């Protein structure tokens, strides 16, 4: 946001503590970002079981202590952003483990025609870029 004064960011963050930290980090950019306090899920959902662990919070596995947080399906989340912006130049997915599931849910959805590039972390912790349509580089 420091290099392009016209960019806008839509941030999805379900953890209230992380959302507060994000607001603090983006203090000078209030007019250029929208923070949506929802988890993003591969399929439509209204809530998720979430393990709040700071920046490493994640969806709860069986047996983990969790809190219930509000959620939205990834296609609905993108459609909401596209209604406002018309196009997404860059989408970054950093969900501490569900990145590939989110990409799989989007792979054949028409919403991806309006997304330029996607950056995400694979299951080995490597940063990957994908163009719309799912081709990785």
As a whole number of angstroms, the distance between CA 104 and CA 42 comes to 8
Distance CA 72, CA 106 (A): 14
pTM for this entry: 0.83
CA–CA dist 117, 128 (Å, integer):
10
Cβ(19)–Cβ(35) under 8 Å? yes
pLDDT tens digit at each of 137 positions of the chain: 888 899 999 999 988 888 999 999 999 999 999 999 999 999 999 998 877 666 666 666 677 778 888 999 999 999 999 999 999 999 999 887 788 999 999 988 999 999 999 999 887 888 888 776 444 44
Instruction: State the pLDDT at residue 121.
Output: 84
The domain locations on the chain are 9-131
């Amino acid at each position: 946001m420091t290099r392009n004064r016209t960019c806008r960011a839509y941030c999805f963050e379900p953890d209230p503590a992380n959302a507060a930290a994000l607001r603090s980090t983006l203090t000078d950019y209030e007019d250029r970002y929208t923070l949506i306090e929802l988890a993003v899920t591969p399929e439509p959902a209204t809530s998720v079981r979430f393990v709040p662990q700071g920046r490493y919070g994640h969806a709860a596995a069986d047996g983990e202590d969790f809190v219930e947080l509000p959620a939205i399906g990834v296609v609905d989340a993108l459609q909401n952003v596209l209604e406002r912006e018309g196009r997404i130049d860059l989408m970054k997915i950093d969900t501490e483990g569900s990145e590939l599931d989110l990409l799989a849910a989007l792979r054949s959805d028409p919403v991806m025609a309006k997304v330029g590039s996607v950056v995400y972390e694979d299951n080995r912790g490597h940063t990957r870029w994908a163009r719309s349509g799912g081709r990785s580089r």
